Structure 1
Amino acid sequence: MPHNALRFPATDPTPIFEHFRGNQGSDLLTAAVAHFDLFASLDRTPCSLDDLAQRLSLAPRPTHVLVTALRAMGLLREIDGRLQLTELAREHLVPGSDFDCGDYLGLAAQSPSVLQMVQLLKTNRPLGSDASDGGAAFIYRDGIASAMEATDTARHFTLALAGRAKNVAPALAEVAGLADATHLLDIGGGTGIYAFALLQKHPPLQATLFDRPEVLRVAQEMSERYGVTNRCQFMDGDMFADPLPVDADTILLSNVLHDWDLPECQALIERCAEALPSGGRLMIHDVFLNDALDGPLPIALYSASLFSFTEGRAYSAAEYRDWLETAGLECYEPIRPTGVHCGLMTAIKPT
C-alpha cells in the first residue's frame, strides 16, 4: 500500500519547531548586548539600517537577521527610516539605566553558542564554509565542501529535512490549485514529498525532480514508497548553471530560496521565468517575514537558523514580489498558508 502524502497530521507540530528554534533568540539578544553594545549605541544616536551595519562592522545579511529578530522581540522600532529603541529596551538594556539587566544577559556572553553566533555575524559565512567541520550542510556551491555531495550525509540531511515536509505537504497540495497543470518541475525538492503530494492530488500530473545526484537517490526510493515512480523523472544538476527542463508548465521552489543571498535568489527566479512557457506558473513555498521586516518572531528566529547554516535568510513577501516582477512574472493572488509558518506565493508568466 503506497504511503499517503495527502494525510494531515492529527496535531499541529508548529510549537515543536518554535521551541527548537528558540535558542537563536537567546544567542542574538546576548550578542547584541554583550558583544556589539547595540542598545547603548542606538540610545546615543538612532540611525538607519545601513548606518548601523557600518557602525557594527557587519555585512547587510547578518545585520538584517539581527535587527529583524530584535524588532520582532519588541526591542527596536523604525521611525522615519531610523532604528530606535523601544521603551522596553531603553529601560532595561541601556547600560547604567535604573533597571538595566544587560549584565544579567551578559552571564551567557562566553557560552559556545553565543560565541559561535558572534563569529557567524562577523564573518557572514555559514557553518562549515571553511570545511573545518566537514563542509556546509544544506547548500551546494563550487569551492565549498557540501554534505549533499556525499552519500551518507546527503541521505541523513535529506531525510531529516523531510521531518517538516511530510507535515506540510498535505496542506500545500490542498491550496496549490494545479487542476489544469500537466508537468511540475520541483527544483531542489529533496525527498520529493511535496511533489509526491501534488502528484497524488492530481492524477494526470507528471513531475520532474531536479537536485543533486545523491539527493535524487533518496527521492527515487521515496517515489516508490509513495507509488508515483512511473510519473516522475529525476534530473541531476546545478540549478544555477545547468539547463532547466522547458516542458514544465509549473515550477516549484519549496524552501529553496531561503538558502541563498539576494543575487542568487534573483538569478534563480529569472532562470525559472525563462524556462516557463507563457501562462506557466512559478510557485514559491517558503516562510515570509512581514514586509516591514519586524517579525513574526518565530520566522525571525528561523531566519537566524537559516543564516547559520546557509548563505540565505528569511525574506519578506515584498522582497519576493520584487524579484518576481523584475523577472517579468505577475503575482495574482495573496499568500496561502500551508503549515509550520510556511505559505504559498504563486506568480504567472504573462501570455
Structure 2
Amino acid sequence: MYESAIQPPLVDPTPIFELFRGSYGSELLTAAVAHFDLFGRLSKQPMTLEQLGDELGLQPRPANVLVTALRAMGLLDQRDGKLCLTAMASEHLVPGSRLDCGDYLSLAAQSPGVMSMVHLLKSNKPLGSDDDSGTAFIYRDGAKSAMDAEATARHFTLALAGRAKNVAPALADVLPIDNAQTLLDLGGGTGIYSYALLQKHPQLRAVVFDRPDVLKVAKEFAETYGVSDRAELHPGNMFADPLPEHVDAILLSNILHDWDVPECKQLIRRCVETLKPGGRLFIHDVFLNDALDGPLPIALYSAALFSLTEGRAYSEAEYRSWMTEAGLRTQSKVPTLVHCGVIEGVME
C-alpha cells in the first residue's frame, strides 16, 4: 500500500514554523540596538536603505533583511523613500531618551545567537562559509557544500521533507497542469512536490533534477508514493549542466530564496530557454509584501534564509518583474500552505 502525497494535514502546522523562526527577531532587534546603533542613527535624520546600509557597513542583502524585519516589527517606517523611526521606536529605542529600553535589550548583546547574527550581517556570507563545515543548503562550484556529502545531504533533505509533506497537497490542489505531459522539478530535493502532482495527474511524468546524493532520498520517496515508473531522477548542477529540453512545465519550489538576485534571474532565464512554447514556469515560495515591510513571519524566515543560504525572501513584485523580464506573462499569486504561494508564468 503506497502512501498518499495529496492527503492534506488535519491541522495547519503554520504556527509551529512561526514559533521556530521567532528567535531571529530577537537576534536582529538586539543587533540593531546593541551593535549597530541603528535607532540612534536614524533619530538624527531619515535615510534611504542604501544610505543606511553604508552608514552601518552592510551590503544590500543584509541591509534588506535587517530593515525588512524592523519594519515588520513596527519600529521603522518609510516616507518619501527614506527610512525613519516609528513613534514606538522614537520613544523607547533612541539612546538617552527618557523611556529608552535599549540597555535592557543589550543584556543579550553578547549571547551566541546575537553575536553570530552580527557576524552574518557584516560578512554577508552564510553559516559555514568561514570554516571547514561548508554551507548547508546550497551548492556552488568551488565551495564546499553539505549537499555533496551523502550523510549530511540525506540529513538536510529529510529535514526539509517535514514541510514539503504538509504543503505538497495544497500545491497539487491549485497547480493548473491538467494538460501537461512533462514536469521538470528543478532543485526538487525529496521530489515530494512532484510526487503529489503525479498522484493527482495520471497523465503526468516528472523529472526531478538535483545533486546526486539528494536524489538518493528522492528515489526512496518515489517508491514510498508509488510513482517510480513516472519519475525520472536527473543529477546535475542547475546553474551549469544542460536541462531537459522542451518540457511543458517547470517547478521552482522553495529554490530561488536560496540565492541572490543575479542567480535568481539566471535560473529563471534557464527555465524559459527549456520550456515549450506555451509552457509554464511555477515559482512556489514565500512572499514578502511588495513594500518590503512584512509580514513579520516572512521577514523572520528571510533572516533564516539569509543565515543559511546566499538568498533571502522576496516579494511577489520582485518575482513577477524577473519573470516578465525573461519573457513570461505572469498570473497573480495563489496561496498554498505554511505562508507559501505559487506564481505562474506562461511562455508566449
Q: TM-score range by the shorter chain?
A: over 0.9
Which 4+ stretches in 1 moved above 6 angstroms? none
What is the alpha-carbon distance in structure 1 between the residues aligned to residue 194 and residue 72 of structure 2? 33
Identify the residue that residue 8 of structure 2 maps to in structure 1.
8
Identify the residue that residue 348 of structure 1 maps to in structure 2.
346
Identify the residue that residue 84 of structure 1 maps to in structure 2.
84
User: Contact 1:131/1:144 (CA < 8 Å) preserved in 2?
Assistant: no
Deviations 1:265-320 (A, max 9, x none): 00000000111111000000000000000000000000000000000000001110
Q: CA deviation at 1:334?
A: 1.6
Q: CA deviation at 1:335?
A: 0.7
Identify the residue that residue 202 of structure 2 maps to in structure 1.
203
What is the alpha-carbon distance in structure 1 between the residues aligned to residue 130 and residue 154 of structure 2? 22
Comparing 242-251 with 304-313, greater Cα deviation is found at: 242-251
User: Contact 1:68/1:293 (CA < 8 Å) preserved in 2?
Assistant: yes
Q: CA deviation at 1:40?
A: 0.5
Identify the residue that residue 53 of structure 1 maps to in structure 2.
53
Identify the residue that residue 158 of structure 1 maps to in structure 2.
157
Secondary structure in structure 2 of the residue aligned to 1:249 = strand
Q: CA deviation at 1:96?
A: 1.1
What is the alpha-carbon distance in structure 2 between the residues aligned to residue 162 and residue 191 of structure 1? 7
Q: CA deviation at 1:143?
A: 2.0
Q: In the TM superposition, what are the counterparts of 1:148-187 in structure 2 within 5 Å?
A: 148-187=147-186
User: Contact 1:46/1:82 (CA < 8 Å) preserved in 2?
Assistant: yes
Q: CA deviation at 1:248?
A: 1.2
What is the alpha-carbon distance in structure 2 between the residues aligned to residue 245 and residue 142 of structure 1? 21
Identify the residue that residue 36 of structure 1 maps to in structure 2.
36
What is the alpha-carbon distance in structure 1 between the residues aligned to residue 248 and residue 129 of structure 2? 35
One-letter code aligned to 2:215: L
Identify the residue that residue 291 of structure 1 maps to in structure 2.
290
What is the alpha-carbon distance in structure 2 between the residues aligned to residue 323 and residue 345 of structure 1? 12
User: Contact 1:130/1:144 (CA < 8 Å) preserved in 2?
Assistant: no
Q: CA deviation at 1:247?
A: 3.1
Q: Does 1:243 align with 2:242?
A: yes
What is the alpha-carbon distance in structure 2 between the residues aligned to residue 247 and residue 191 of structure 1? 23
Q: In the TM superposition, what are the counterparts of 1:58-77 in structure 2 within 5 Å?
A: 58-77=58-77
One-letter code aligned to 2:152: T
Q: CA deviation at 1:142?
A: 1.4
One-letter code aligned to 1:271: R
Secondary structure in structure 2 of the residue aligned to 1:216 = helix
What is the alpha-carbon distance in structure 1 between the residues aligned to residue 155 and residue 131 of structure 2? 18
Q: In the TM superposition, what are the counterparts of 1:133-148 in structure 2 within 5 Å?
A: 134-148=133-147
Q: CA deviation at 1:221?
A: 1.1
Aligned pairs, number: 348
Identify the residue that residue 130 of structure 1 maps to in structure 2.
130
Q: Does 1:257 align with 2:273?
A: no
One-letter code aligned to 2:346: I
One-letter code aligned to 2:217: V
Deviations 1:235-274 (A, max 9, x none): 1111000111113110000000000000000000000011
One-letter code aligned to 2:125: R
Q: In the TM superposition, what are the counterparts of 1:265-304 in structure 2 within 5 Å?
A: 265-304=264-303
Identify the residue that residue 329 of structure 2 maps to in structure 1.
330
Identify the residue that residue 222 of structure 1 maps to in structure 2.
221
Identify the residue that residue 112 of structure 1 maps to in structure 2.
112
One-letter code aligned to 1:98: R
Q: Does 1:339 align with 2:337?
A: yes
What is the alpha-carbon distance in structure 2 between the residues aligned to residue 311 and residue 177 of structure 1? 31
What is the alpha-carbon distance in structure 2 between the residues aligned to residue 279 and residue 318 of structure 1? 22
Structure 1 alignment gaps of length 5 or more: none
Q: In the TM superposition, what are the counterparts of 1:11-30 in structure 2 within 5 Å?
A: 11-30=11-30
Please report the TM-score for the alignment, with normalisation by the length of structure 2: 0.99
What is the alpha-carbon distance in structure 1 between the residues aligned to residue 204 and residue 246 of structure 2? 13
Identity of aligned residues (%): 66
Structure 2 alignment gaps of length 5 or more: none
Q: CA deviation at 1:88?
A: 0.6
User: Contact 1:131/1:145 (CA < 8 Å) preserved in 2?
Assistant: no
Deviations 1:209-251 (A, max 9, x none): 0000000011011100000000011111110001111131100
